[in-house]
Each structure stands twice: as C-alpha cells, then as structure tokens.
C-alpha cells in the first residue's frame, strides 16, 4: 500500500487499489482522433459557458436546450423535461445491444453566482486565455458535462454498438439541493434511469500538484448523509418582568448545552481507519501515532483533543451535529411560548436516521422537547468490486502505468445520492487533473479549466465507456 492518502485536502481516501495491468482493447486506440474530439469539446464548452445558468433563479432550460440541440445534430434524440418555470432536464439515450445494463452520465446545468467585478475575465465569457477556458462552471460542472457529452458523441460516431446503453442526463438545481433536478427525476421519472447499473457524476477529480501532475485517481463511492433536525420547546408565555424557569427558551438552551457538552460519538469505519493509517506517515510528532492507531486514539480524551484540531479529517470519524438556526421571541419584554433550533447533522454510511434521533433524544434528556426531521437523504455507499471500477483502473493503467486508483468517502453530498437511492452504483469521478490553484476557483473567482484537461478528460471518459461497454 503506497502513500496515496497524502494531502487529501478535501477528501478522505479509503483504501488503495493499484491499477490493473490488463491492457485496453486495441480497437480503442485505432482510428480515434482524440485531438479533434478535444477541440470540438472545447468549442462546445466555450459556447455552453456563455449561457448564464446562475442559481437562483437557474434558467437551466436554456442550457438543456443547448445540449439537446447538439445531441440532435449528431443524430441522438434528446428530450427536455420541464421541472419548474425556466428549469428543465435534458435526457438522451444511445442504445446498446442490451447484453448489460446501462451507464448514466449525470451532470448539472446550474452554476453558483459570480460577481464580475471580482473576476479577471467576465464570468460568462467562455473564452480561452493562455491555454485555459474561462467561465463559471468550467470545473463545476459544465466542463465535466461536456466531457460526458463529447464521449457519447464519439461512441455514436464510431458506429460501434456497446453492450450497454449510454444515458446522458443534464439536470438543474444541484447547487441548491436538487429537488427540481435529480430529485425531480427520482420522484417523477425514475424509469428513465432505473434500468441502468452505473452512474458517473461529479464528486471527485484527479488530485494533482501545482504543476498539474496527478498524485492518484480518486473515485468518490460514498458520501455522508445529511439529516436536518428541528427541536421545538414549548412553555408558558408571559411578561419578562416575572421570569419563568420552565420557559420554552430556557428549556431549549439547556437541551442545546447538553448536546454541545456531549462531544463527538466516534464510530471508526474500517475504510476510514485505513485512510488514517495512510496519512499518518505524512505527520510528525504525536499525530503520527494517533492517526496510525486512530480506532484506539478516539478513546483517549487527550488524543481526541488533537484529532479535533483538524475539522475535516475528524468529521470522518463521527456523526457531526452543527447548530445552525435558532428562533424564539419577537419582543424583548415578552417570554415566548415557543423556541426552536435547527441542527445540521451529517451521518456516516451505515447509520440510520432513528439511531441519530434517539441519540439526540437521550442526550438532551427532556421528553417535552419535540424532535422533527426536516431533511433526510440516506445514501448507501456504492460497491467497489464492479465492472465500472475495473474499467477506470484499466484506463488509469493505460494512461499512467502504476497510477493508484483510490476509493474516497467525502463529507459533502452531490446529486449521486438520489440515484444511489434508486439502486444505481454511482461514482463521483471526473477524469481531469486539478491542482490547488484551480481547485480554489470552484465556487470562487476566476474559474477555468486547462484546455489540455478537456482533451484528457474526453479521451479517458471515452475509453472508460468503451471498456465498460465491452467494445472489442
């Protein structure tokens, strides 16, 4: 096992599989003009980035129509599904021979806001400067959407019928929860994807150093599940000149204090333990041993103090609870009859909603406080022993012999969870090297993607799909 876990600044690598040495089908390399495909994808992405799909309000229908038009021009029928005014999904399916179940290429059309005054070039310019294509969404995730689209067009052009259908799905609303995008599909049109086995989405890129050199290929196969709770305390209302010890506000404050004092309730999952072993070799001093034996370390209060110093790494070790919203009262001299608090809990794979709710109930120890669930999306991890994972490993080996392919568990969530809930094996994997200087531009300023990244991404995506699709 090598030290591929090093500096997973925004991720947790869990386990390591060395790339297989089996070579890809030789038919793949022959007669494919990857350079031309990369140039075509760059042109399409430039035009796509010019469409402002900032959410809110989104206006993603314009983006969906743009993508549908390109699919149609290339002989692939595309459908538009309206999910809200001005908002729509685009869906297309390239039929295979039906021997195996399909692969969904998922991407979101919406982007986060950008303030032009902060950018070096206008956020919706979609132009290349110094070998990089600029625009909001270049990385998150219009760039990946076009890499998926171009790979699909290449398969269509090749005339090869794969063993699997390839499904293209562009959705709105991801950046604000996905209810009018992926969530809408799950609720209203699950039949569009339910027959498929795999889904490829954003969620992890190839982590690179500042010179763009890949450290490893990370595949996001699991995410923590969000569980949002609302605690409501009720009590007698009254005039503030005569304090009421059992008031709603007092009860709520006491309950929240208990939750705060309880501290983390650790649960070290085997793959996370493995990750900590990997990163321990990069640490000096006490942390080296603490991480190497993390399952024991979490039982020692002194060591826990040090572990909690890293908010990202430590979040992998327990179900986190953050107090985010507090509401009570309307006037300084009135004791309110009700007080509420909202908690954002992020839950490890394998833990249920009921376990967390009973933990909160037991900890606050006040049966008069109601605990309501505002939001709960349970996302089970996807399997790793699959044809798609093997295809990614094969392509990694083909591109860089010896390149490690690392499964990762991440603390954030993407639209993948909607589809994992439908039973698909979903991987967050964008086959593009992203160094720290580009990573910082996602949801930040000056977002851009190297043109070489688009070319590499298209080639790798095509190879992966051809391989998992059984092309000979």
Which residue, 40 or 202, is less far from Zn ion as judged by CB?
202
Shortest separation between residue 144's beta carbon and Zn ion, angstroms: 8
Show Cβ contacts of residue 52 under 8 Å, excluding neighbours closer than 6 positions: 59, 124
Size of the site for Zn ion (CB under 5 A): 3
Least distance in Å: CB of 445 to Zn ion? 17
Q: Are 228 and 344 in contact (CB under 8 A)?
A: yes
Q: Would you say 202 or 467 has its CB closer to Zn ion?
A: 202
Half-sphere exposure of 224 (CA within 13 A, CB side): 23
Span from 1-9, 44-52, 199-207, 296-304 in contact with Zn ion (CB under 5 A): 199-207
Measured from the CB of residue 470, what is the shortest distance to Zn ion in angstroms? 30
Report the residue number, 96 or 218, with the smaller CB distance to Zn ion: 218
**Strand blocks (E) in 95-213:** 103-108, 128-129, 132-134, 166-171, 198-208
The answer to whether residues 251 and 368 touch, using CB atoms and an 8 Å cutoff, is yes
Q: What tokens appear for 270 in the block?
A: 């085997």
CB of 443 to Zn ion, least distance (A): 9
Taking CB under 5 A as the binding criterion, the range among 29-37, 185-193, 194-202, 290-298 that sits at the site for Zn ion is 194-202
- Nearest approach, Cβ of residue 120 and Zn ion (Å): 22
Cα gap 213→202, rounded to integer Å: 20
- Smallest distance, Zn ion to C-beta of residue 460, A: 19
Which residues are CB-contacts of 39 (< 8 A; sequence separation ≥ 6)?
A: 455
Closest approach, Cβ 357 to Zn ion, in A, equals 30
Q: Rank residues 165 and 202 by Cβ distance to Zn ion and give the closer one.
A: 202
Of 46-54, 123-131, 196-204, 383-391: span binding Zn ion (CB under 5 A): 196-204
* Segment (H or E) for 84: strand 78-84
Task: Choose between 140 and 150: whose C-beta lies nearer to Zn ion.
Answer: 140
In the complex, minimum distance from the CB of residue 187 to Zn ion, in angstroms, rounded to a whole number: 21
Alpha helix (H) residue ranges in 50-159 = 60-73, 142-158
Nearest-approach distance from CB 194 to Zn ion, in angstroms = 23
Binding span for Zn ion by CB under 5 A among 117-125, 200-208, 327-335, 385-393: 200-208
Q: Treating both helix axes as pointing N-terminal to C-terminal, what angle do 60-73 and 34-49 enclose, rounded to 10 degrees?
A: 150
What is the Cα–Cα distance from 427 to 411, expressed in whole angstroms?
15
Contact criterion met (CB below 8 Å) for 166 and 465: yes
Handedness of CA 187, 188, 194, 196 (dihedral sign): negative
Nearer to Zn ion, 140 or 447 (CB): 140
Which is nearer to Zn ion, 94 or 109 (by Cβ)? 109
In angstroms, what is the minimal distance from the CB of 140 to Zn ion?
4
Q: Which C-beta is closer to Zn ion: that of 287 or that of 434?
A: 434
In the window 125-184, what residues touch Zn ion (CB under 5 A)? 140-141
**H or E segment at 185?**
helix 182-188
Helix (H/G/I), strand (E/B), else coil: 155: helix
Nearer to Zn ion, 382 or 416 (CB): 416
Give the DSSP letter string of 197-229: SEEEEEEEEEEE-TT--EEEEEEEEEEPEEEEE
What is the largest distance, in Å, between two alpha-carbon atoms of the chain?
Answer: 85
**Residue placing its CB nearer to Zn ion in the complex, 140 or 467:** 140
- Are residues 412 and 175 in contact, defined by beta-carbon separation less than 8 angstroms? no
What residues make contact with Zn ion under the rule CB under 5 A?
140-141, 202
């Amino acid at each position: 096992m090598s030290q591929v876990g090093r500096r997973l600044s925004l991720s947790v690598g869990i386990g390591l599989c060395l790339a297989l040495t089996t070579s890809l089908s030789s038919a793949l390399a022959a007669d494919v003009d990857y350079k031309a495909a990369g140039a075509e994808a760059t042109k399409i992405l430039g035009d796509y980035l010019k469409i402002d799909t900032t959410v809110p309000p989104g206006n993603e229908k314009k983006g969906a129509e743009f993508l549908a038009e390109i699919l149609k021009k290339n002989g692939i029928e595309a459908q538009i599904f309206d999910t809200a005014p001005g908002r729509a999904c685009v869906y297309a399916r390239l039929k295979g021979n039906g021997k195996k179940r399909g692969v969904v290429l998922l991407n979101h059309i919406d982007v986060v806001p950008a303030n032009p005054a902060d950018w070096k070039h206008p956020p919706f310019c979609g132009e290349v400067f110094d070998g990089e294509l600029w625009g909001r969404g270049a990385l998150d995730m219009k760039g990946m959407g076009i890499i998926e689209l171009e790979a699909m067009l290449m398969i269509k052009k090749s005339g090869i019928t794969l063993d699997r259908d390839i499904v293209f799905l562009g959705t709105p609303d991801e950046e604000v929860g996905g209810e009018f995008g992926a969530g809408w599909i799950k609720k209203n049109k699950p039949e569009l994807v339910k027959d498929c086995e795999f889904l490829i989405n954003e969620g992890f890129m190839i982590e690179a150093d500042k010179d763009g050199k890949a450290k490893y290929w990370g595949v996001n196969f699991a995410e923590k599940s969000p569980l949002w709770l609302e605690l409501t305390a009720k009590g007698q209302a009254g005039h503030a000149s005569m304090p009421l010890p059992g008031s709603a506000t007092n009860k709520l404050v006491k309950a929240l204090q208990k939750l705060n004092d309880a501290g983390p309730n650790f649960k070290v999952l085997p793959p996370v333990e493995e990750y900590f072993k990997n990163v321990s070799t990069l640490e000096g001093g006490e942390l080296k041993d603490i991480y190497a034996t993390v399952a024991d370390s979490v039982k020692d209060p002194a060591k826990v103090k040090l572990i909690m110093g890293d908010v990202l790494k430590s979040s992998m070790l327990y179900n986190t609870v953050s107090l985010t919203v507090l509401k009570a009262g309307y006037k300084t001299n009135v004791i309110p009859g009700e007080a509420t608090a909202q908690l954002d809990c992020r839950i490890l794979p394998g833990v249920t909603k009921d376990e967390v709710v009973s933990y909160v109930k037991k900890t606050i120890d006040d049966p008069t406080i109601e605990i309501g669930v505002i939001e709960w999306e349970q996302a089970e991890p996807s399997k790793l022993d699959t044809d798609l994972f093997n295809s990614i490993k094969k392509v990694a080996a083909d591109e860089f012999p010896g390149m490690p392919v690392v499964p990762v568990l991440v603390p954030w969530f993407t639209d993948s969870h909607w589809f994992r809930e439908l039973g698909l094996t979903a991987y967050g994997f964008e086959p593009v090297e992203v160094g720290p200087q580009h990573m910082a531009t996602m949801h930040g300023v000056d977002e851009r993607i190297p043109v070489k990244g688009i070319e590499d991404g298209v080639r790798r995506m095509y190879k992966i799909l051809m391989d998992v699709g059984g092309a000979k």
